[in-house]
């Protein structure tokens, strides 16, 4: 027969602990220290307490004959470090001191910490640094206190992802371990209270993880269980909460696929990959290249490679030379790309095996695979080749920890939920489509509707289906085409109102991967009522900066503020000093768990991109306003033009030029010049049938263009060289290769 003290009994974990204590016959009396009252029970005495650092005699008398405590107060993540320190450290250690002085001996103190707690206070951390150190400090001091006081036992519980029906993933996006069911965690703590234990620290693997059959979901034991990586653990949670929850809608197949089937299909393809290579259970970071179109087959293939312990190398059919550079152990080819297979083989330096992907179809009765503990999250997971707009493409390698961090930042900042529905039209050889579109959605339980390519007609039709989607992410050229399609085919028709209302109903619309011209942003807002959210990222870092969800935090021309856990600074390119002034240009440098591991087999190139103190040098220039919002000025190598002693942002000039309606596209570059250092040159595509305000005929003359711009910018910024073209070449993400522009139109200046 035992009397126990409970804290945190109104919280997620504490409620389950209280319920099990009330039901257990060996627990005869419970004192709940709480700020709020609890439902009455004959075993329960609720003692209201406002300050957990002060225990008056009335409370001491109440707990005097208690033999144990289960402490779950402050388990949830607390973003304010001062409050976190008070709740986690001060409250806990004060209580331990009081209980040691007042209660029965021996006394067992079971403390619910977390998997992310870090006891090594000097270890570099990449996310939630202070909070994790605070939790680790609590563990250190609590175990030290127990060591100094015989008769006082301390046990630390370190659950990772705690699962309960209907629970949101939001508070758990940074947990990096396998899952544990809530009832199993509470039961383990109760067992420790009653029987004690030999361990000080209890991880998920130590807990009794009982898996039960869920409705409509069979538990099967495959020969090779898949590792419980963070994305897979999240998918498992979504599948158990709702076996019918849709993960992917494939518009090409016209089929939908649940999280249950996604995990099952990934497990099946994983088995085939390993068998093809004659391996028993782990690729050990071997590269697996695949050429698969946008859709469910792509996602299942990606997850299968990760489940097998391999590195995903998604191929772009236009860049087949990446096959040779990545040196894959296996190449997977979808039937849609069978004709390209010979070219793939030619790009290989060795005889690499190929397998044809058998397209997946909807399974009405999929079975959930079994899971094993994850391998190290520091393993390589993904190799994406940089866009190559300013240098040769390099294989950028990110780890599972990088991917989880990058996706988690966005889930937190953009508030993804299982109710979200993303229409996905982006390429899947780029972080925009892979991390923002897929990983963040799946981590949160959202549904991704995948389209093989962007079609403005289809998107406007989907938006008119009111409430069917909540999220859309794209590059500026896509928004420009959406604007143009609306003007040409919807404005003034009976569809106009439905189109406007449908687009206005979207929860969030995001633009990125290239600078967003103000006219495109303003036109889209006029049509839809949506103010596009701008953000900043790149292959090596995922996303680093983002404007806020609040409309007033979507500042024109700004990419916002650092995302959670990401550190950003500006430095002087010449001296390396920290730039902290308002409206002062500086090189963007990034530090955090989002930063990539390496350029594939290029150690010197990797080392050259980091400062001595570990910051990644993006090569981009930005400035900050008085509120700390960042404004990108462009790539230092091509977008910063030095002319006559002035530093000119090509992006700023482009933005001003695009405000002229007659200009449809523009790329501003610097041309070498003996007198000025560089001259500002513009490559322009004019709209058909539209003239400049000052021109009465054709808008082809440089003087006319300069006259248009003289009231928009300083004279030294106005282009002195003009090239009129029929179109400006861009890559799949809407970026212009300005070095190619110069080589093409001014080869003597390249």
Residue 637 backbone dihedrals phi, psi, to 5 degrees: -80, -25
Share of the chain above pLDDT 70, in %: 90
Q: Judging by beta carbons within 10 Å of its beta carbon (0-12, 13-18, 19+), is residue 533 exposed, middle or buried?
A: buried
Q: Residue 215: what pLDDT?
A: 32
pLDDT tens for 393-447 read 789 999 999 999 999 999 999 999 999 999 999 999 899 999 999 999 999 999 9
Which of 493, 441, 500 lies closest to 471, judged by CA?
A: 441
Distance of CA 563 to the CA centre of its chain: 10
- Sheet of strand 586-591: strand arrangement: 578-579, 567-571, 586-591, 616-624, 630-635
Say which residues have a Cβ less than 8 Å from residue 215's Cβ, sequence separation at least 6.
Answer: 243
Under the banding of pLDDT at 50, 70 and 90, the label for residue 163 is: low
pLDDT tens for 296-339 read 999 999 999 999 999 999 998 666 668 888 889 999 999 999 88
Distance CA 139, CA 112 (A): 10
Please answer whether residues 288 and 312 qualify as being in contact, where contact means their C-beta atoms are separated by less than 8 angstroms: yes
Distance CA 346, CA 1 (A): 76
Structural domains present in the chain: 2-206 (3.40.50.720), 638-749 (3.30.300.30)
Q: Residue 391: what pLDDT?
A: 58
Using alpha carbons only, what angle is made at residue 540 by residues 536 and 546, rounded to the nearest 5 degrees? Answer: 20
Which of 629, 654, 611, 609 lies closest to 536, judged by CA?
A: 629
Task: Please spell the DSSP secondary structure of 662-694, one letter per residue.
Answer: TEEEEEEEEEEETTTEEEEEEEEEEPTT---TT
Instruction: Spell out the long-range contacts of 92-98 with Cβ–Cβ below 8 A and sequence spacing 24 or more.
Output: 92/138, 92/142, 93/138, 93/141, 93/142, 93/145, 94/52, 94/53, 94/55, 95/7, 95/52, 95/55, 95/69, 95/71, 96/142, 96/145, 96/152, 96/154, 97/145, 98/55, 98/60
Other Cβ atoms closer than 10 A to 682: 23
User: Can you say whether the dihedral through the CA atoms of 705, 709, 714, 717 is positive or negative?
Assistant: negative
Distance CA 206, CA 186 (A): 13
Please answer whether residues 268 and 192 qualify as being in contact, where contact means their C-beta atoms are separated by less than 8 angstroms: no
Does residue 15 register a pLDDT over 80? yes
Q: Residue 211: what pLDDT?
A: 31
Record the tokens describing residue 374, joined without a space. 């994850």
Q: Judging by beta carbons within 10 Å of its beta carbon (0-12, 13-18, 19+), is residue 159 exposed, middle or buried?
A: buried
Say which residues have a Cβ less than 8 Å from residue 164's Cβ, sequence separation at least 6.
Answer: 12, 16, 181, 182
Does residue 221 register a pLDDT over 60? no
Q: Provide the 3-class DSSP secondary structure of residue 545.
A: strand
Share of the chain above pLDDT 90, in %: 60
Under the banding of pLDDT at 50, 70 and 90, the label for residue 619 is: very high
Q: Residue 676: what pLDDT?
A: 84
Q: Residue 418: what pLDDT?
A: 94
Q: Residue 365: what pLDDT?
A: 84
Does residue 168 register a pLDDT over 60? no
Distance CA 423, CA 451 (A): 8
Distance CA 184, CA 167 (A): 16
Q: Residue 451: what pLDDT?
A: 97
Please answer whether residues 51 and 87 qualify as being in contact, where contact means their C-beta atoms are separated by less than 8 angstroms: no
Do strands 471-474 and 421-424 pair parallel, antiparallel, or not at all (unpaired)? parallel
Does residue 571 register a pLDDT over 90? yes
Under the banding of pLDDT at 50, 70 and 90, the label for residue 220 is: very low
Q: Residue 321: what pLDDT?
A: 66
Which of 84, 15, 158 lies closest to 7, judged by CA?
A: 15
Q: Residue 177: what pLDDT?
A: 38
Please state, in angstroms and as integers, the Cα–Cα distance from residue 582 to each residue in 441, 585, 623, 648, 717, following that order.
Answer: 36, 9, 7, 17, 21
Please state, in angstroms and as integers, the Cα–Cα distance from residue 98 to each residue in 4, 109, 140, following that order.
Answer: 14, 12, 18
Does residue 169 register a pLDDT over 80? no
Residue 612 backbone dihedrals phi, psi, to 5 degrees: -60, -30
Distance CA 155, CA 110 (A): 5
Under the banding of pLDDT at 50, 70 and 90, the label for residue 68 is: very high
Q: Residue 170: what pLDDT?
A: 36
Under the banding of pLDDT at 50, 70 and 90, the label for residue 173 is: very low
pLDDT tens for 516-541 read 989 999 999 999 999 999 999 999 99
pLDDT tens for 185-213 read 888 899 899 988 888 898 876 764 433 33
Numbers of helices and strands, H then E, in the chain: 22, 39
Please answer whether residues 733 and 475 qualify as being in contact, where contact means their C-beta atoms are separated by less than 8 angstroms: yes
Give the single-character DSSP code of 749.
G
Record the tokens describing residue 112, joined without a space. 């619910």
Please answer whether residues 392 and 319 qualify as being in contact, where contact means their C-beta atoms are separated by less than 8 angstroms: no
Does residue 698 register a pLDDT over 70? no
| Residue 532 CB-half CA count within 13 A | 31
Distance CA 521, CA 629 (A): 18
Does residue 276 register a pLDDT over 90? yes
Q: Provide the 3-class DSSP secondary structure of residue 450.
A: strand
pLDDT tens for 441-490 read 999 999 999 999 999 999 999 999 877 899 999 999 999 999 999 999 99
Under the banding of pLDDT at 50, 70 and 90, the label for residue 79 is: low
Does residue 289 register a pLDDT over 70? yes
| Mean pLDDT over the full length of the chain | 87
Under the banding of pLDDT at 50, 70 and 90, the label for residue 647 is: confident
Say which residues have a Cβ less than 8 Å from residue 91's Cβ, sequence separation at least 6.
Answer: 52, 53, 73, 74
739 or 80, higher pLDDT: 739
Please answer whether residues 626 and 619 qualify as being in contact, where contact means their C-beta atoms are separated by less than 8 angstroms: no
């Amino acid at each position: 027969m035992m009397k126990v003290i409970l804290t945190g009994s109104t919280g997620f974990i504490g409620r389950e602990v209280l319920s099990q204590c009330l039901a257990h016959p060996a627990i005869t009396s419970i004192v709940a220290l709480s700020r709020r009252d609890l439902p009455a029970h004959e075993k329960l005495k609720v003692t209201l307490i406002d300050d957990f650092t002060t225990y008056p005699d009335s409370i001491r008398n109440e707990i005097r004959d208690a033999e144990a405590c289960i402490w779950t107060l402050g388990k949830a993540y607390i973003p304010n470090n001062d409050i976190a320190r008070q709740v986690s450290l001060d409250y806990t250690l004060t209580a331990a001191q009081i209980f040691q002085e007042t209660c029965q001996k021996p006394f067992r103190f079971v403390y619910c910490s977390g998997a992310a707690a870090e006891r090594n206070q000097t270890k570099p951390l990449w996310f939630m640094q202070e909070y994790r150190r605070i939790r680790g400090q609590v563990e250190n001091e609590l175990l030290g206190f127990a060591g100094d006081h015989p008769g006082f036992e301390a046990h630390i519980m370190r659950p990772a992802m705690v699962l309960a029906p209907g629970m949101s993933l939001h508070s758990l996006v940074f947990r990096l371990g396998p899952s544990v069911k809530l009832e199993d965690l509470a039961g383990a703590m109760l067992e420790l209270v009653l029987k004690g234990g030999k361990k000080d620290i209890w991880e998920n693997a130590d807990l009794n993880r009982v898996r039960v059959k869920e409705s409509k979901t069979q538990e099967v034991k495959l020969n090779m269980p898949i590792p419980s990586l963070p994305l897979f653990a999240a998918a498992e949670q979504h599948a158990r909460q709702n076996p019918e929850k849709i993960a992917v809608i494939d518009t090409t197949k016209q089929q939908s696929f649940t999280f249950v089937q996604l995990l099952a299909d990934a497990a099946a393809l994983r088995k085939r990959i390993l068998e093809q290579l004659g391996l028993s259970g782990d690729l050990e970071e071997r590269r697996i290249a695949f050429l698969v179109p946008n859709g469910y087959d792509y996602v299942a293939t990606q997850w299968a490679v990760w489940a097998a312990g391999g590195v995903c190398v998604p191929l772009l059919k236009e860049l087949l030379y990446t096959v040779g550079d990545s040196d894959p152990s296996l190449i997977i080819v979808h039937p849609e790309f069978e004709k390209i297979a010979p070219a793939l083989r030619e790009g290989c330096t060795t005889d690499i095996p190929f397998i044809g992907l058998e397209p997946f179809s909807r399974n009405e009765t999929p079975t959930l695979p079994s899971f094993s503990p994850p391998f190290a999250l520091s393993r390589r997971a993904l190799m994406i080749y940089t866009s190559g707009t300013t240098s040769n493409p390099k294989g950028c390698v990110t780890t599972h920890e990088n991917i989880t961090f990058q996706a988690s930042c966005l889930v937190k900042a953009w508030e993804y939920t299982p109710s979200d529905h993303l229409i996905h039209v982006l390429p899947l050889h780029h972080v925009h489509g892979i991390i923002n579109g897929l990983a963040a959605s799946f981590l949160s339980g959202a549904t991704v509707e995948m389209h093989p390519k962007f079609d403005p007609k289809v998107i406007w039709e989907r938006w008119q289906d009111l409430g069917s989607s909540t999220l859309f992410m794209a590059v500026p050229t896509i928004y420009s085409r959406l604007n143009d399609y609306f003007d040409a085919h919807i404005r003034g028709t009976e569809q106009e109102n439905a189109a406007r209302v449908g687009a206005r109903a979207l929860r969030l619309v995001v633009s990125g991967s290239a600078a967003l011209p103000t006219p495109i942003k303003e036109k889209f807002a006029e049509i839809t009522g949506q103010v596009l959210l701008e953000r900043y990222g790149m292959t090596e870092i995922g996303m680093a900066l983002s404007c806020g969800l609040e409309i007033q935090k979507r500042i024109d021309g700004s990419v916002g503020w650092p995302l959670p856990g990401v550190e950003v600074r500006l430095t002087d390119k010449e001296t390396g000093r920290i730039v902290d002034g308002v409206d002062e240009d500086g090189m963007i440098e990034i530090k955090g768990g989002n930063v990539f591991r390496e350029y594939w087999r290029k150690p010197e190139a990797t080392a050259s991109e980091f400062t001595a103190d570990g910051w990644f040098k993006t090569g981009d220039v930005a400035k900050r306003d008085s509120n700390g919002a960042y404004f990108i000025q462009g790539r230092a190598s091509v977008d910063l033009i030095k002319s006559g002693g002035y530093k000119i942002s090509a992006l700023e000039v482009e933005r001003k030029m695009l405000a002229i309606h007659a200009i449809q596209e523009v790329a501003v570059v610097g041309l070498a010049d003996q007198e000025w250092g560089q001259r500002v040159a513009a490559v322009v595509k004019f709209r058909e049938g539209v003239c400049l305000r000052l021109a009465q005929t054709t808008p082809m003359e440089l003087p006319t263009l300069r006259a248009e711009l003289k009231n928009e910018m300083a004279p030294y910024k106005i282009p002195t060289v003009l090239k009129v073209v029929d179109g400006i070449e861009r890559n799949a993400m809407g970026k212009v290769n300005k070095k190619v522009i110069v080589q093409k139109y001014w080869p003597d200046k390249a």
